[in-house]
Structure 1
């Protein structure tokens, strides 16, 4: 039986939880609320944390469920990410035209990813942005590893296809 410390094992997950919540809710304030609710739920279960195999998967599952509940309840959506996050990391050598083009391309990819089905979007977020293993993603989403791989493949294909279509016809 392992000893689980809330401070050392759960609190360091807050940034990962925030990024997942932000990806689902598309709103910084909502994502912060989701992380806070998640941490409170995990805190309430602190007596049984020793019995859980993966605290990270457990926390991510709670976070995902709370975020999905919030988005289902809210009828409005605000901008997907902060403007700071959307700014491309342009070098000082880039011209204003290049920076604008990079920002437009990033916006287009963001819109495409936002339009993916929920499972594909979440799988892609956890794998490509958070670096989680297929096993961890399967555990968080309560699906098989094969389903995770299929969802990621389909998400990447859809993003690639729609990006190429948009690039071909213009923004």
Structure 2
């Protein structure tokens, strides 16, 4: 096994940990706290680093568990994913304000639909679609089987697709 360094192996994971924590807590300040707590917990377990097969999966698992614990404690699932990010436009539609507005609305709708998913589906989607993790890595992080990861992602995609179609057809 390779020698693991906090500075070169763990600290670079902070952005990935933040995105995972944000996806679960839906609150930027809480996500920052979760990442900080994760780093402290990982540092306190430094004697066991050399025995860990994947330090990334280890860190992500701790982050996920801390975020879930914090969510259970705060029962705070009604806040938006990112406050103040609604005005950022997709530059591919820069010449057409109407398309910009429609694209922002679609992105906000998708975020809202993802936020409404059950926690396991939301976490699996985050890790797969936004973090690019393999099913095996996700299974390790979430402490479930690869088949369960696939089922959660499939169900999440179905739910988002169905709700998106219902929302888009509303009023027609």
Query: Per the shorter chain, which TM-score range?
Result: over 0.9
Q: What corresponds to 1:18 in structure 2?
A: 18
| 8 Å Cα contact 2:86/2:104 also seen in 1 | no
| 8 Å Cα contact 1:20/1:125 also seen in 2 | yes
Q: What corresponds to 1:43 in structure 2?
A: 43
Q: What corresponds to 2:161 in structure 1?
A: 160
Q: TM-score, normalised by structure 1?
A: 0.93
**Runs of 4 or more off by more than 6 Å in structure 1?**
none
The 3 A distance-change label for structure 1 pair 153 and 86 is: farther
Mapped to 2, the partners of 1:92 and 1:81 lie a distance apart of 21
- Cα offsets for 1:51-90 (capped at 9, x unmatched): 1111011100100011111111114443221333773423
- Cα offsets for 1:24-46 (capped at 9, x unmatched): 01111110110000000000011
Q: What corresponds to 1:2 in structure 2?
A: 2
Q: TM-score, normalised by structure 2?
A: 0.93
| 8 Å Cα contact 1:25/1:67 also seen in 2 | yes
Q: CA RMSD in A?
A: 1.5
1:65 maps to 2:99: no
The 3 A distance-change label for structure 1 pair 57 and 86 is: farther
| 8 Å Cα contact 2:61/2:141 also seen in 1 | yes
Mapped to 2, the partners of 1:25 and 1:93 lie a distance apart of 32
Q: Mind listing any 5+ residue stretches in structure 2 that lack a counterpart?
A: none
Q: What corresponds to 1:131 in structure 2?
A: 132
Q: How many residues align?
A: 170
Q: What corresponds to 1:78 in structure 2?
A: 79
Q: Mind listing any 5+ residue stretches in structure 1 that lack a counterpart?
A: none
Kindly state the Cα deviation for residue 93 of structure 1 after the two structures are TM-superposed: 4.0
Kindly state the Cα deviation for residue 101 of structure 1 after the two structures are TM-superposed: 1.1
| 8 Å Cα contact 1:88/1:106 also seen in 2 | no
